[in-house]
């Protein structure tokens, strides 16, 4: 009986040891499963100890059996140390991607749409910041599903984004942040606030275990080919939803004067995807507008009560945008490499 117990328990300890070492080596997140196995082995060990101790008192256990038991007890003690280290390491090295999301009033109402498009006020601090909040909550809403986060960045950035989850996160970020795109301010997409957003989203995608894809959508003309790129990306990735930050003119559902084609958001919706488009609205401040020269301009003030929020219009289906995101104040970001804004910049040069 005691020999049978020793072999069975030795096998259980060995199986648990293998699982624990693999989990530690690959930094797996299923610590609870490993710890349940540890608890099961310890429980059996205690029962076995009672059997051997009882047999010893009755004169039935020999010194060899006691020696085997003590060696196994040493192994389980070492595994206890391993288990403790494993649980601490996993808690430190495997953050849950959706923890720490800042609340965003009204965002939950957007879950009904397959695609949510935020109209970016280029060059501001607030547009990327609000989108960053939304991206965190978007990852939370996805659960086990897949999603795409699209940005109005040159398509060449997809070389960096495709390395997320393949190469170390810091390596991906170190390449993206030195791209020549950040060498100037131009239309404001090249701002320090936008660079910070890219950093945040790279980390978010890296922590998502492959459920989030970042996609740079500035394939020209973006209203047509950028929309096609988003649709292609969703299909190839098996994504059920997408979240997009793009200039507010591209986020429109209705073409405005001067636009050569239907806007980006209109074309995505026309492909059969349910979509919500959001304009930017603020109680005041400054933005970086290009008409045709890009420069700082006062933002149209539409003060509202409360703080940052998303509002869907009751008649949004007939409006240029279905709703808006509101911030109390729009402020200007700055170029990546200097704290000073240019006086103005022209767009009659090739766009990177």
Quote the pTM value.
0.72
> What residues are paired with 167 via a beta bridge?
164
pLDDT band, residue 75 (cuts 50/70/90) = low
Distances (CA, A) of 135 to 116, 228, 311: 11, 21, 17
Q: What whole-number distance in Å separates Cα of residue 208 and Cα of residue 222?
A: 27
For the chain, give every domain's residue range: 2-93, 107-327
Q: Return the pLDDT at 242.
A: 98
Scanning the structure block, which residue is given the tokens 């991906």?
A: 172
Least confident interval from 227-231, 253-257, 346-350: 346-350
Contacts of 191 (CB under 8 A, 6+ apart): 122, 123, 124, 128, 185, 333, 334, 335, 336
Q: Return the pLDDT at 82.
A: 40
pLDDT, tens only, 173-183? 999 999 999 99
Nearest-5° angle of CA 164, CA 169, CA 172? 70
Q: What whole-number distance in Å separates Cα of residue 316 and Cα of residue 112?
A: 14
346's tokens: 């022209």
pLDDT, tens only, 259-287? 999 999 999 999 999 999 999 999 999 99
Comparing 156 with 38, the larger pLDDT belongs to 156
Over residues 91-117, mean pLDDT: 77
Q: What whole-number distance in Å separates Cα of residue 91 and Cα of residue 89?
A: 5
Over residues 254-258, mean pLDDT: 92
Over residues 163-185, mean pLDDT: 96
Q: Return the pLDDT at 89.
A: 38
Torsion 91-94-99-100 (CA) sign: positive
101's tokens: 């999301």
Q: Return the pLDDT at 70.
A: 53
Nearest alpha-carbon partner for 140 in 241, 246, 276 = 241
Q: Report the top-level CATH class of 107-327.
A: alpha beta
Q: What whole-number distance in Å separates Cα of residue 78 and Cα of residue 242?
A: 47
């Amino acid at each position: 009986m005691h020999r049978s117990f020793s072999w069975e328990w030795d096998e259980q300890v060995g199986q648990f040891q293998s699982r624990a070492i693999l989990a530690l080596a690959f930094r797996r997140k299923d610590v609870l499963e490993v710890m349940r196995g540890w608890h099961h082995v310890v429980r059996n060990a205690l029962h076995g100890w009672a059997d051997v101790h009882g047999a010893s008192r009755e004169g039935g256990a020999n010194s060899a059996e006691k020696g085997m038991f003590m060696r196994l007890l040493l192994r389980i003690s070492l595994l206890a140390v391993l288990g403790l280290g494993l649980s601490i390491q996993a808690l430190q090295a495997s953050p849950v991607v959706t923890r720490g999301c800042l609340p965003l009033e009204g965002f939950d109402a957007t879950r009904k749409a397959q695609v949510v498009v935020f109209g970016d006020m280029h060059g501001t601090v607030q547009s990327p910041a609000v989108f960053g909040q939304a991206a965190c909550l978007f990852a939370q809403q996805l659960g086990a599903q897949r999603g795409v986060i699209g940005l109005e960045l040159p398509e060449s950035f997809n070389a960096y984004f495709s390395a997320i989850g393949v190469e170390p996160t810091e390596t991906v970020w170190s390449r993206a942040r030195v791209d020549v795109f950040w060498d100037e301010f131009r239309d404001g997409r090249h701002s320090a606030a936008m660079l910070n957003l890219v950093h945040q989203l790279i980390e978010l995608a890296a922590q998502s275990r492959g459920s989030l894809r970042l996609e740079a959508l500035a394939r020209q003309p973006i209203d047509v080919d950028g929309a096609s790129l988003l649709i292609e990306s969703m299909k190839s990735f098996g994504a059920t939803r997408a979240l997009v930050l793009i200039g507010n003119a591209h986020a429109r559902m209705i073409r405005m004067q001067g636009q050569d084609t239907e806007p980006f958001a209109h074309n995505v919706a026309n492909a059969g995807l349910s979509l919500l488009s959001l304009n930017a609205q603020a109680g005041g401040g400054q933005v970086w507008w290009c008409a045709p020269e890009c420069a700082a301009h006062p933002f149209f003030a539409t003060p509202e009560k409360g703080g940052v929020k998303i509002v869907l219009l009751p008649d949004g289906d007939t409006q240029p945008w279905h709703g808006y995101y509101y911030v109390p104040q729009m402020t200007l970001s700055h170029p990546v490499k200097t704290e000073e804004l240019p006086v103005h910049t022209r767009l009659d040069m090739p766009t990177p």
